[in-house]
Amino acid sequence: MKITNRYNLPMALTNAMMKDDYSKGSSEYSVTGLLQPPRVALLREQYDDQIEIDISDKMYTFLGTALHKVLEAAGMPANNTAEERLYADVDGSKISGQIDVQERTPAGTVIWDYKVTSVWSVIHEKTEWVEQLNMYKWFVETVKQERVVGLKVCAFLRDWSKNGSGANYPEASIVVVDIPVWSATETEAFIRDRLNAYKMAKMAKDFGEELPLCSNQERWMSETTFAVKREGRKTAIRVLTSEQEAKEMAIKENGYVETRLGEPRRCTGNYCQVAQWCDQYQGEAK
C-alpha cells in the first residue's frame, strides 16, 4: 500500500500515523477480517501494491489506535484483562480474536470494545458491532470456558454536539451501548458461514471466476428516496421513502416527484479502497 501526504502534514505525525500495529497473530483469519466482505479483502490483497491512501484519510483509524494505547498505558483494574488474543480451530481453519477488555464480575465476564465512532452509529444499531462482539463472546466461552454475561461498546462520539437533538440522540460524547447477545450455537453457525464465504471466494479467485458479490448491507447502500418538488423552488418540499406517498403529495402540492436512487456509499466513497478494480461497482458505474 502506498501512503501519500498530500497536505504536507508534519513528519512526527505522519510517522505515528503510518505505524500499523495490527496483527491477526498466527491465525489464518481474525474476527475483524472475517467481518470484511470477502470480495473487498481479496481485491485488497491482489492490489495491495497499487492501493494509494493519503495519511489524512487515516485520521479515524489513528484516533482509535490512540484511544487503545492510552487506555492500555493507564493500566487496567485488577479484574480486567486487556487486549487478549484468543485462538480456535474451526473446520480446519485457525481463527483468532483480540478482545479490548474482559471484565470479570461475580456473575461472569463482561466484554468491552472501545470505539471512536459517529453519533449515527449509536442511534442506529450497527450489525457489525453485534457480530464482532458475539464472536468475542464465543471465543471466551469456547476457549476459556468462561460464562459471558454482557457485551458492551464504549463509544467515543467524534461528531457529538451539545446542541444535537432528535430521537435517541446520545446524551454525552462518550456513551455505553449494550449489544444484543446471541447463543453460542447461533454464533458458531455465523462463524462457519463467514469462513465458508471466504473459502468460496478464495476458490473463485484461484479459478479466475467471479468473486462473490458484496451485499447491499456490505456496500452501505443508502435507501432510495422520493423528493416532492415544485417548479421554481430549489429545495424539496419533502423527501419520502414511499413513492406512493410522494406522488400523492405531489398532486396536492401541484409539484412533481424526483427519484433519488440509493447509492452504495462504501463503493462511491471508495471506503473499501478497491472500487476502481471492482467489477461489481465498475459494472454498475458504466
Partner 1 sequence: MNQTDLLKINVNEHTEKKNGLTYLSWAWAWAEVLKADPAANFKVEMFDGSPLMPVGGSFMVWVTVTIFEKPVTCMLPVLDYRNKPIPTPNSFDVNTSIMRCLTKAIAMHGLGLYIYAGEDLPETDLNAEPKVESKAEPKAEKPKANKRIQVTEWDNSDASRKLFADGLIEYSSLCQTVDDLNGYWLSNQLQLESLKQTHTDLFKQVLETFSMKKKLFTEGK
Q: With binding defined as CB under 8 A, does residue 199 bind partner 1?
A: yes
Q: With binding defined as CB under 8 A, does residue 173 bind partner 1?
A: no
Q: How far is the CB of 42 from partner 1 (least distance, A)?
A: 13
Q: With binding defined as CB under 8 A, does residue 123 bind partner 1?
A: no
Give whichever of 7 and 207 is closer to partner 1, judged by the CB atom: 207
Q: With binding defined as CB under 8 A, does residue 142 bind partner 1?
A: yes
Beta bridge partners of 116: 156
Among 91, 128, 159, 210, binds partner 1 (CB under 8 A): 91
Q: How far is the CB of 39 from partner 1 (least distance, A)?
A: 18
Q: With binding defined as CB under 8 A, does residue 107 bind partner 1?
A: no
Q: With binding defined as CB under 8 A, does residue 92 bind partner 1?
A: yes
Q: With binding defined as CB under 8 A, does residue 88 bind partner 1?
A: yes
Nearest Cα to Cα of residue 239 among 252, 223, 251, 254: 223
Q: With binding defined as CB under 8 A, does residue 63 bind partner 1?
A: no
Output the CA angle 69-72-74, nearest 5 degrees. Answer: 110
Among 171, 178, 206, 231, binds partner 1 (CB under 8 A): 206
Q: With binding defined as CB under 8 A, does residue 7 bind partner 1?
A: no
Q: With binding defined as CB under 8 A, does residue 207 bind partner 1?
A: yes
What single letter denotes the amino acid at residue 185? T
Give whichever of 192 and 252 is closer to partner 1, judged by the CB atom: 192
CA 141 to chain centre: 24
Helical spans, DSSP H, in 90-229:
119-123, 127-143, 184-206
Give whichever of 25 and 262 is closer to partner 1, judged by the CB atom: 25
Give whichever of 142 and 225 is closer to partner 1, judged by the CB atom: 142
Q: With binding defined as CB under 8 A, does residue 193 bind partner 1?
A: no
Give the number of residues in contact with partner 1, rule: CB under 8 A. Answer: 15
Q: How far is the CB of 203 from partner 1 (least distance, A)?
A: 6
CA 101 to chain centre: 19
Burial of 166 (0-12, 13-18, 19+ CB in 10 A): exposed
Q: With binding defined as CB under 8 A, does residue 197 bind partner 1?
A: no
Q: With binding defined as CB under 8 A, does residue 28 bind partner 1?
A: yes
CA 275/CA 282 separation, integer angstroms: 7
Q: With binding defined as CB under 8 A, does residue 200 bind partner 1?
A: yes
Q: How far is the CB of 215 from partner 1 (least distance, A)?
A: 21
Element housing 57 (H / E): none
Q: Which stretch binds partner 1 (CB under 8 A): 88-96, 110-118, 165-173, 235-243?
A: 88-96
Nearest Cα to Cα of residue 269 among 197, 223, 204, 220: 220
CA 243 to chain centre: 30
Beta bridge partners of 178: 152
Burial of 62 (0-12, 13-18, 19+ CB in 10 A): middle
**Do the Cβ atoms of 137 and 181 come closer than 8 Å?**
yes
- CB neighbourhood size of 261 (10 A): 8
For partner 1, the binding residues (CB under 8 A) are 28, 88-93, 142, 199-200, 202-203, 206-208
